[in-house]
């Protein structure tokens, strides 16, 4: 779709699958939406599973030919996670946010490789000279917040104001949430295509889960007399009277009678928050799997966690939705930037810890912030969110972002809220710092076998048969 001139923000997602099929059938592309060129999907798109280009595992080489078949140009591009696409001449290290660099024009050297600096089209040089409040590590960020008496969200806002006006920042941030919220709504209420695309033939679950949730099935069903000691004693009913079990029954009989007797209770509503978080996250990731529009947060494979946690907070806790949405998103984005700079948010480099793990950490920090956490508690929440995702592998079945990705987002959302709760119930002091866990994640990803880094060559991808 991008080659045909579409953008993620405006493409009509309901047409993508049919348009892709038409391209294959007609063997032609509408280049940049202006004119048709020959394109044979079987011949012109070559997928090499055993070759990795030097700069990043997720690489693609584009070559352009004239009508005579002579090559006019060729270039290599790399998808490095989070929607960032770079090439060998890209100056910004791994597409990082330039507005958090103290000096944008200073080249950055990492592991012996120098990343040259180039101009970015459409941006004025004065926009890129410096950030108002630069930081590159969690320690820098914490120190900055303390010395300036600012929250993390306020630091982000002040930096954004260096190159965009207030109204634009608010409008764009709320637009991001609107897309997130729409993806939840579509995923929960979808009535078309109950089977997700791909050979797995995975059924959508979010519509059914959402319907059951609001039908009241998950409500409190216990009654007071069921909680009494009477129900803890083995009894049997004769007519309308309850009598003690017969002495002739063996312990085995009594045990089986106890464990097999019918229960009218469903699930206590103290677990309902798990249901809401789960259905929201699953809805977004099913939309992603179906080609719907989602927000890369920080990646498409983990796109359900941040929306689910924010939606849950807004629905059940918020008294000021606009302020809370901005606080949550700005806080989460600052944490995400730290991972982007200190490690990676690419599953091809880090495994799923770089996607679901990072999204969990970002969400935990955002949730803690809107719940009124102190600066230390926010950092603690972010650290907990990642610490217990360390080593998480990326082994999608059949190479599709479905199994285990969809359910894993649900677990990531629940874990994020749990991490925030743990931090909020403490005083903010913690042994492991956020910087330490980010570096640990980076090292773990570097040590991780290739088959567990988005290649579908190991783990669930080889142990779950497609039959």
**What are the pLDDT digits (tens) for 194-209?**
999 999 999 999 999 9
Domain annotation covers residue 124: no
Q: Which residues contact 224 (CB under 8 A, 6 or more apart)?
A: none
Higher pLDDT, 254 or 344: 344
Domain annotation covers residue 192: yes
CATH number of the domain within which 23 lies: 3.30.1330.90
For residues 71 and 169, membership in a common domain is answered with no
In this prediction the pTM is 0.80
For residues 151 and 59, membership in a common domain is answered with no
For residues 172 and 275, membership in a common domain is answered with yes
Domain annotation covers residue 128: no
Domain annotation covers residue 111: no
Domain annotation covers residue 142: yes
Q: With bands split at pLDDT 50, 70 and 90, how would you rate the model's confidence at 236?
A: very low
Domain annotation covers residue 458: no
Domain annotation covers residue 123: no
For residues 316 and 422, membership in a common domain is answered with yes
Domain annotation covers residue 35: yes
- pLDDT exceeds 90 at position 242: no
pLDDT in tens, 63-107: 888 888 888 888 888 877 777 787 776 644 544 444 344 433 333
Domain that holds residue 54: 2-87
For residues 61 and 144, membership in a common domain is answered with no
Least confident of 112-126, 233-247, 383-397, 436-450: 112-126
Determine the pLDDT at residue 216: 53
Q: With bands split at pLDDT 50, 70 and 90, how would you rate the model's confidence at 405?
A: very high
For residues 282 and 365, membership in a common domain is answered with yes
């Amino acid at each position: 779709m991008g080659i045909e001139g579409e953008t993620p923000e405006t493409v009509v997602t309901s047409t993508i699958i049919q348009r892709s099929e038409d391209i294959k059938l007609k063997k032609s592309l509408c280049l940049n939406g202006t004119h048709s060129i020959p394109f044979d999907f079987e011949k012109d798109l070559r997928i090499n599973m055993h070759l990795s280009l030097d700069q990043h595992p997720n690489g693609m080489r584009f070559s352009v030919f004239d009508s005579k078949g002579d090559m006019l140009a060729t270039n290599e591009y790399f998808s490095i996670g989070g929607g960032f696409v770079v090439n060998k001449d890209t100056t910004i290290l791994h597409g990082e946010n330039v507005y958090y660099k103290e000096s944008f024009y200073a080249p950055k050297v990492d592991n012996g490789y120098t990343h040259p600096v180039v101009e970015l089209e459409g941006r004025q040089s004065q926009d890129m000279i410096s950030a108002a409040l630069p930081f590159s590590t969690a320690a820098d960020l914490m120190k900055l917040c303390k010395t300036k008496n600012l929250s993390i969200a306020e630091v982000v806002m002040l930096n954004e104001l260096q190159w965009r006006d207030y109204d634009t920042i608010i409008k764009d941030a709320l637009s991001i949430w609107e897309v997130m919220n729409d993806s939840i709504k579509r995923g929960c209420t979808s009535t078309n295509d109950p089977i997700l695309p791909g050979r797995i033939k995975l059924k959508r679950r979010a519509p059914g889960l959402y319907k059951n949730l609001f039908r009241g099935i998950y409500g409190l069903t216990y009654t007071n007399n069921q909680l009494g000691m009477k129900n803890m004693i083995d009894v049997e009913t004769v007519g309308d009277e309850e009598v003690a079990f017969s002495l002739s029954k063996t312990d085995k009989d009594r045990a089986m009678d106890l464990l097999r007797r019918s229960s009218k209770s469903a699930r206590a509503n103290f677990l309902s928050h798990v249901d809401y978080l789960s259905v929201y996250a699953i809805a977004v990731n099913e939309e992603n799997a179906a080609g719907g529009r989602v927000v890369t947060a920080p990646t498409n494979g983990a796109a359900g966690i941040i929306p689910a946690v924010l939606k849950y907070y807004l629905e059940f806790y918020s008294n000021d939705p606009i302020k809370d949405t901005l606080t949550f998103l700005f806080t989460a984005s600052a944490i995400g930037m730290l991972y982007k700079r200190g490690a990676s948010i690419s599953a091809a480099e880090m495994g799923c810890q770089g996607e679901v793990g990072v999204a969990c950490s970002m969400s935990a920090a955002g949730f803690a912030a809107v719940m009124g956490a102190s600066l230390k508690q926010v950092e603690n929440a972010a650290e907990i969110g990642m610490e217990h995702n360390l080593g998480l592998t990326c082994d999608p079945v059949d190479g599709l972002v479905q199994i285990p990705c969809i359910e894993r987002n649900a677990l990531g959302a629940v874990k994020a809220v749990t991490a925030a709760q743990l931090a909020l119930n403490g005083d903010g002091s913690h042994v492991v710092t956020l910087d330490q866990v980010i570096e640990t994640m980076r090292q773990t990803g570097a040590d991780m076998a290739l088959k567990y880094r988005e290649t579908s060559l190991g783990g669930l991808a080889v142990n779950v048969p497609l039959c």
